[in-house]
């Protein structure tokens, strides 16, 4: 378990530059073993072997992550972010079993030139720098098509797909969607937690739905072949997007509000509408999001309570996973960026017990090992498991990407 992929040669981010001369170096968090391995799965040897085989043989696609590594000491965080040079966690990805991953980069913490974030030039800088690094190795490959993902699976590589949680950086410039597509962005949200010119976000008091500019943005994303994500949209905006889009829409990282009653979760109407149009919901696992009354201390078990609920609501062919993990102290990141990430409004006054990390889903290296282990131990068939860890997502991508 957790052996590195044969293709991985040991490259670390920005190896082609000189640390200390070309960029300021920080001490980074461990990509493997930062927290103890999950002990919550009690698999027989036969089950463990089956889980290992399923992880190795299936097309495993994470609908939502941030695969960069954060500073070991989170007091370095703002300085680190100012530099705009986040390191991809190659060593961790080599142990993840992932075939493909939607990476949202700096995203809500993209504060290179502005503490408010989301500036177009900063987002382009983030994407460009990360891509320059990817181009200097051959294990994590930039992916833009279904063929790229299939090629990564056939050759033992990881397909890396850029995504953005909001279209906020386009401001009122629809053509910027083309520019972002040109940079490799293949999945994008409408609004982040706060409203923008396209529509409303989950933190706002009111939601006027998709604007006329939002209509045009959805049309353009459909024409370009950018998958649309309504995870952070307000309820009405999200439903408008599902109706407006010619192709299925993703909820890449959320849970069910019927299980945990916060704005950050989706109501049944939205999850149903998404599924009826052929879409998929990826179950979220960022700290203190997908809690449940049965498992109020956030862990793999609470996350799977949302999985079970969504499967019962819309069928297993419309559910997948977008764990939203990273390498480093995610809770520390939330503490430092609570305002940027609108965490107060997202929790909406619902009390919860704080944990230092989500046991079983702490980082991109361990996530799908434990998800598949849980599915095996709970009696899901091979076909059901391959569908929820990637097959369902691939089906939608074949419809959406042109
Ligand atoms: Zn998010």
Q: Domains of the chain by range and CATH?
A: 45-400 (3.20.20.140)
CA of 192 to the centre of ligand 1 (A): 8
DSSP 264-332: TSBPHHHHHHHHHTT-EEEEP-STTSS--SS--S-BHHHHHHHHHHHHHHH-GGGEEE-----BS-HHH
CA of 133 to the centre of ligand 1 (A): 24
| pLDDT computed for residue 100 by the predictor | 98
Ranges of the chain whose pLDDT falls below 70: 1-2
CA of 323 to the centre of ligand 1 (A): 10
CA of 108 to the centre of ligand 1 (A): 8
CA of 255 to the centre of ligand 1 (A): 12
Q: Per the structure block, which two tokens stand in for 54?
A: 């399923």
| pLDDT computed for residue 97 by the predictor | 97
Q: Per the structure block, which two tokens stand in for 288?
A: 């203190």
| pLDDT computed for residue 2 by the predictor | 67
Which of 14, 123, 18 minimizes the C-alpha distance to 69?
A: 14
CA of 104 to the centre of ligand 1 (A): 9
The Cα–Cα gap between 366 and 327 comes to 11
CA of 330 to the centre of ligand 1 (A): 12
Side-chain half-sphere of 19: how many Cα atoms within 13 Å? Answer: 8
CA of 254 to the centre of ligand 1 (A): 8
Q: Per the structure block, which two tokens stand in for 358?
A: 């989500």
* E strands, 17-146, in order: 61-65, 100-103, 140-142
CA of 165 to the centre of ligand 1 (A): 6
| pLDDT computed for residue 355 by the predictor | 96
Residues 6+ apart with CB under 8 A from 30: 72, 327
What does the pLDDT look like over 162-184, one tens digit per residue?
A: 999 999 999 999 999 999 999 99
| pLDDT computed for residue 235 by the predictor | 97
Q: Residue 393: left (phi > 0), alpha (psi -120 to 50), or beta?
A: alpha
CA of 6 to the centre of ligand 1 (A): 32
CA of 324 to the centre of ligand 1 (A): 7
What does the pLDDT look like over 287-322, one tens digit per residue?
A: 999 999 999 999 999 999 999 999 999 999 999 999
Residues in the 5 Å CB sphere of ion ligand 1: 165
Q: Taking the chain, what is the end-to-end CA distance rounded to the nearest angstrom?
A: 37
CA of 44 to the centre of ligand 1 (A): 35
Task: Provide the pairing of β-strand 185-189 with 158-164.
Answer: parallel
| pLDDT computed for residue 348 by the predictor | 82
Residues 6+ apart with CB under 8 A from 55: 97, 368, 369, 372
CA of 235 to the centre of ligand 1 (A): 15
| pLDDT computed for residue 340 by the predictor | 84
Question: DSSP 3-state assignment of 239?
Answer: helix
CA of 275 to the centre of ligand 1 (A): 20
Q: Per the structure block, which two tokens stand in for 284?
A: 């979220």
CA of 162 to the centre of ligand 1 (A): 14
The Cα–Cα gap between 44 and 49 comes to 9
The Cα–Cα gap between 215 and 235 comes to 16
Residues 6+ apart with CB under 8 A from 20: none
> How many CB atoms sit inside 10 A of residue 267's CB?
16
Angle at which helix 212-224 crosses helix 235-244, to 10 degrees, equals 50
CA of 21 to the centre of ligand 1 (A): 34
- CA distances (Å), 301 to each of 121, 367, 373, in order? 40, 13, 12
The answer to whether the beta carbons of residues 321 and 252 sit under 8 Å apart is no
The Cα–Cα gap between 96 and 78 comes to 28
The answer to whether the beta carbons of residues 226 and 177 sit under 8 Å apart is yes
Give the DSSP H/E element, type plus range, for residue 123.
Answer: helix 120-134
| pLDDT computed for residue 303 by the predictor | 98
CA of 187 to the centre of ligand 1 (A): 13
Torsion sign (Cα): 96, 101, 105, 108 = negative
pTM here is: 0.97
CA of 286 to the centre of ligand 1 (A): 8
Give the DSSP H/E element, type plus range, for residue 376.
Answer: helix 367-377
């Amino acid at each position: 378990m957790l052996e590195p992929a044969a293709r991985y040669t040991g490259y670390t981010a920005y190896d082609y530059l000189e640390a200390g001369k070309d960029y300021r170096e920080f001490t980074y968090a461990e990509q493997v073993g930062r927290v103890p391995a999950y002990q919550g799965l009690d698999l027989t040897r036969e089950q463990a072997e089956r889980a290992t085989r399923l992880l190795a043989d299936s097309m495993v696609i994470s609908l939502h992550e941030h695969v960069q590594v954060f500073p070991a000491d989170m007091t370095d965080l703002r300085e680190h972010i100012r530099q705009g040079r986040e390191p991809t966690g190659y060593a961790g990805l080599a142990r993840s079993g992932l075939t493909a991953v939607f990476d949202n980069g700096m995203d809500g913490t993209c504060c290179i030139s502005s503490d408010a974030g989301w500036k177009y030039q900063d987002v382009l800088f983030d994407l460009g720098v990360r891509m320059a690094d990817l181009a200097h190795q051959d294990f994590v490959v930039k992916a833009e098509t279904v063929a790229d993902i299939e090629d990564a699976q056939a050759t033992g590589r990881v397909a890396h797909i850029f995504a953005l949680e909001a279209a906020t950086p386009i401001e009122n410039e629809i053509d910027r969607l083309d520019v972002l597509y040109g940079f490799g962005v293949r999945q994008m949200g409408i609004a982040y937690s706060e409203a923008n010119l396209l529509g409303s976000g989950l933190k706002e008091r009111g939601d006027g739905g998709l604007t006329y500019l939002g209509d045009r943005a959805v049309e353009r994303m459909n024409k370009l072949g950018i998958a649309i994500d309504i995870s952070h949209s307000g309820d009405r905006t999200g439903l408008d997007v599902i109706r407006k889009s010619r192709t299925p829409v993703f909820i890449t990282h959320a849970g069910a509000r019927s299980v945990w009653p916060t704005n950050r979760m989706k109501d049944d109407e939205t999850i149903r509408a998404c599924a009826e149009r052929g879409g998929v919901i990826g179950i979220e696992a960022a700290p203190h999001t997908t809690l449940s009354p049965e498992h109020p201390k956030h862990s793999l078990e609470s996350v799977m309570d949302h999985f079970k609920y969504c499967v019962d609501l819309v069928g297993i062919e419309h559910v997948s996973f977008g764990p939203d993990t990273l390498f480093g102290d995610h809770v520390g990141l939330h503490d430092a960026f609570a305002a940027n990430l609108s965490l107060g409004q997202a929790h909406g006054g619902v009390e919860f017990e704080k944990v230092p990390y989500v046991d079983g889903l702490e980082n991109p290296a361990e996530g799908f090992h434990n998800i598949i282990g849980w599915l095996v131990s709970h009696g899901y068939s091979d076909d059901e498991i391959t569908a929820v860890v990637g097959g369902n997502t691939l089906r939608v991508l074949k419809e959406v990407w042109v």
